[in-house]
Amino acid sequence: MVTDFNDVDGEDLTNPDIIAENEVAFEGALRPQSLSEFVGQTKVRGQLELLLKAASMQSRTPDHILLAGPPGLGKTTLSMIVAEEVGKPLRMTSGPAIQHAGDLAAMLSSLTPGEILFVDEIHRMARSAEEMLYLAMEDFRIDIMVGKGAGATSIPLELAPFTLVGATTRAGLLPNPLRDRFGFTAHLEFYDAVELEQVLIRAARLMNFEISAEAVKIIASRSRGTPRIANRLLRRVRDYFLVHNAVSDTAAVDAALELYDVDTLGLDRLDRAVLRGLLERFGGGPVGLSTLAVSVGEDSETIEAVVEPFLVRAGLVSRTPRGRVATPTAWEHFEIPQPNVL
Ligand SMILES: Nc1ncnc2c1ncn2[C@@H]1O[C@H](COP(=O)(O)OP(=O)(O)OP(=O)(O)O)[C@@H](O)[C@H]1O
């Protein structure tokens, strides 16, 4: 696929909901095509490799796979790799697009043998569809209801064997019967700096962008442990370098990251709003997540799925039974004196 990497726009670097069409093309072009090209997540890769190999040796469809983790860590990419590795087509949909059991029935009944069905945001699927999925996953069969009221009957419909790959940022919201029907659940972790450097070096090569090891290091350390963010920052740095004819690429990195409001820890505007709110309005907590979300005008799902995981992993916030609490590192980062705690 040929992608025009010069198609620049001013999208929010970290908001997964605001992905312009060219951003999708850009992401697509950078996606690893095989497990061996997929950087990091060593454990998950090994587990997937085993699962796919065992299925292939027994000439059966691989077990259903659930991919859980914050946005941008590679869930969609892994689903594409699974399809590639088993050599079967991939059908992609998302939970919010399945609002009725009928939507799901139509999709399931048209699957070809061995096809991979990827359902992104699977926790947002309609309840009626979820129930239909239980049977489909277990027995490759669904029951179609015909008629209404006392005369209603259900007609069983055999399905071609398929592998469901579900992705979720909120595994905890999946009902147990659904969670239990996945043969394997992969919890994707944030990437460490060295892994992100590898992601960046690979992306820079694909973009024909010559960048120094030092600049790569800085971008990696400010990418929120997330390949999607690393790739986007790289593009913004490349833009900056191009437009401003910067003296060095490290100067371009600093300037571009400042321009796009990414701070030294890689925190974006929303991360900082949440942390500042926690420190300044709630004295560092403990405070409940929904109260915190309201105070920054965001919905709690975004705070819980997108913001909080990284703040916890960065050691800036800790979760306690009484609510979220800012750590001493958070106070230091904002250079606000920590009130004395009795
Ligand atoms: N392990 C990896 N190695 C190299 N690039 C990666 C890796 N993981 C993700 N990427 C890149 O990051 C981008 C985002 O990945 P992807 O869309 O798979 O994330 P996601 O977890 O599905 O996100 P979301 O939950 O928002 O859909 C893609 O362009 C992909 O190329």
* Per-residue pLDDT tens digits for 58-82: 999 999 999 999 999 999 999 999 9
3-state secondary structure of 91: strand
What is the interface pTM, i.e. ipTM, of the complex?
A: 0.96
In a mutational test of the pocket of ligand 1, which residue from 11, 76, 118, 124 has the highest number of ligand atoms less than 8 Å from its CB?
Answer: 76
Residue 248's pLDDT band, with cuts at 50, 70 and 90, is confident
Q: pLDDT at position 3, please?
A: 34
Q: Say which residue, 15 or 34, is predicted with more confidence.
A: 34
pLDDT at residue 266 tops 50: yes
Q: Say which residue, 219 or 155, is predicted with more confidence.
A: 219
Q: Specify whether 244 is located in the same domain as 122.
A: no
Please tell me the distance between residue 54's alpha carbon and the centre of ligand 1 in angstroms.
26
What residue's CA is closest to ligand 1, atom 25?
A: 71
Which residues are paired to 141 by β-bridges? 158
Compute the average pLDDT of residues 104-128: 94
Q: pLDDT at position 22, please?
A: 65
Instruction: Classify residue 297: in a domain, yes or no.
Output: yes
Which residues are paired to 186 by β-bridges? 67
With a CB cutoff of 8 Å and minimum separation 6, the contacts of 149 are: none
Q: Specify whether 56 is located in the same domain as 183.
A: yes
Q: pLDDT at position 160, please?
A: 95
Q: pLDDT at position 234, please?
A: 93
Q: Is 141 a catalytic residue?
A: no
Q: Specify whether 177 is located in the same domain as 218.
A: no
Instruction: Classify residue 32: in a domain, yes or no.
Output: no
pLDDT at residue 237 tops 50: yes
Give the binding-site residues of ligand 1, using a 6 Å CB cut-off: 16, 27, 30-32, 38-41, 71-77, 120, 167, 169, 199, 227-228, 231
Q: Say which residue, 104 or 3, is predicted with more confidence.
A: 104
pLDDT at residue 326 tops 70: yes
Least confidently predicted of 17-26, 221-230, 308-317: 17-26
Q: pLDDT at position 6, please?
A: 37
pLDDT in tens, 218-228: 999 999 999 99
Instruction: Classify residue 25: in a domain, yes or no.
Output: no
Instruction: Classify residue 11: in a domain, yes or no.
Output: no
Domain of 204: which CATH number?
Answer: 1.10.8.60
Q: Say which residue, 250 or 227, is predicted with more confidence.
A: 227
Express the helix, strand and coil content of the chain in percent, nearest 5 each. 50, 15, 35
Please tell me the distance between residue 307's alpha carbon and the centre of ligand 1 in angstroms.
17
Residue that finishes a domain, picked among 187, 215, 240: 187
Q: Which domain holds residue 287?
A: 269-333
For residue 215, CA distances in Å to 6, 194, 218, 242 come to 20, 13, 5, 15
First to last CA, the chain: 61
Neighbours of 94 (CB within 10 A): 14
Instruction: Classify residue 3: in a domain, yes or no.
Output: no
Domain of 329: which CATH number?
Answer: 1.10.10.10
- Residue % of the chain over a pLDDT of 70: 92
Q: Find the helix packing angle between 213-221 and 227-244, rounded to 10°.
A: 130
In a mutational test of the pocket of ligand 1, which residue from 188, 205, 228 has the highest number of ligand atoms less than 8 Å from its CB?
Answer: 228
pLDDT at residue 11 tops 60: no
Compute the average pLDDT of residues 142-159: 84
Q: pLDDT at position 4, please?
A: 36
Residue that finishes a domain, picked among 158, 187, 216: 187
Q: Is 120 a catalytic residue?
A: yes
**Number of domains comprising the chain:** 3
